[in-house]
Amino acid sequence: MFDIDVRLLLLFQAIYQQNTISKAAQKLDIGQPAASLGLNKLRQHFDDPLFVRVGNQMQPTQTAQNLFPLVNNALQHIRAVNDYTHHFEPKNSSRRFHISMTDISHMIIVPKLIKYLKQHAPHTKLDISAINSDTPSRMSSGEIDLAIGYIPHLEAGFFQQTFFEQHYSVVVRQDHPRLTQNTLTLEAYQQEQHADVISSGTGHYLLEDHLRRRHIKRHIAITLPTYLGVGLIIQQTDLVATLPDKLAKLLLQENRLHTLPLPLDIPKYQVKQHWHERMHANPDNQWLRQVCYALFHQDNDS
């Protein structure tokens, strides 16, 4: 018989990754008192504090650092055994899916995904996070089920499926005092004040790299960390923004905006969904991928 419960291993992994007991409890959908009790059991079992409070975070001891790869590996094998006999039933599942995506994908797919889950998988839950440098490792560990965006440099061990090709358009307000035509020259593009968005997973660096290689300079009036709110900023100012075309079309639906073709020949990039090989045969993950693919095409073909 084993002396340690699998749920305690999941708690150990969550505290190690989240650095706080409260966030670990939230991730596992348990109460904080239960998480604290579980941590005490882990400490007794391993005869080590495992995590010590430093400021507002729980930092791992050397024993915890040594245990983490062993616990990760053990949980991967346990999940594999569980998935082997598992059949996913959406209507009865209480599965919590974790998807990493860009804020553009938030606006395009999340509303439709919530509506779909409410009808077809009403007890499932969603955790959405931004794509960043930690996304690949979190996918490898099983913390993230799926990533949707532009992630061109994934290492071996990942699968991908293309949703669509993306290109850039220039967005201005409808009554812009200077840009009133349906075309835009490079000279006019450079003379305007720009709102620039730097967001990971969106292919933004392709635009910046192309401008840099061609020695094209823009007057950047404001730099934003996400695309959320950029439509209102453009609508209420004379600024222009160079945005992925799918987002530009979405913003036109709710704002008094106008799009112009970008006066530059920038290569298109592919928006894909990515998943780790350990999730490839997982019935839950297969279902989620099929749903996201269908919803993306439903949204973008209309």
- Kindly report the number of other CB atoms within 10 A of residue 275's CB atom: 21
Q: Are 98 and 29 in contact (CB under 8 A)?
A: no
Distance CA 86, CA 283 (A): 7
Average pLDDT over residues 59-88: 84
On the 0-12 / 13-18 / 19+ scale of CB atoms within 10 A, 139 is buried
Q: Which residues contact 177 (CB under 8 A, 6 or more apart)?
A: 238
The single-letter code of the amino acid at 128 is: I
What dihedral do alpha carbons 286, 290, 295, 301 form, nearest 10°?
Answer: 150
pLDDT for 227-240, tens place per residue? 888 999 999 999 99
The three-point CA angle 81-24-115 to 5° equals 75
What are the structural domains, with CATH classification, of the chain?
A: 4-81 (1.10.10.10), 91-163+269-294 (3.40.190.10), 167-259 (3.40.190.10)
Asked whether the predicted pLDDT for residue 168 surpasses 80, the reply is yes
pLDDT for 17-67, tens place per residue? 999 999 999 989 899 999 999 999 999 999 999 999 999 999 999 999 999
Helices (H), the chain: 6-18, 21-28, 32-46, 62-84, 103-120, 135-140, 186-191, 204-213, 230-235, 245-252, 283-301
Q: Are 269 and 203 in contact (CB under 8 A)?
A: yes
pLDDT for 181-239, tens place per residue? 888 999 999 999 999 998 766 677 788 888 999 999 999 999 998 888 899 999 999 99
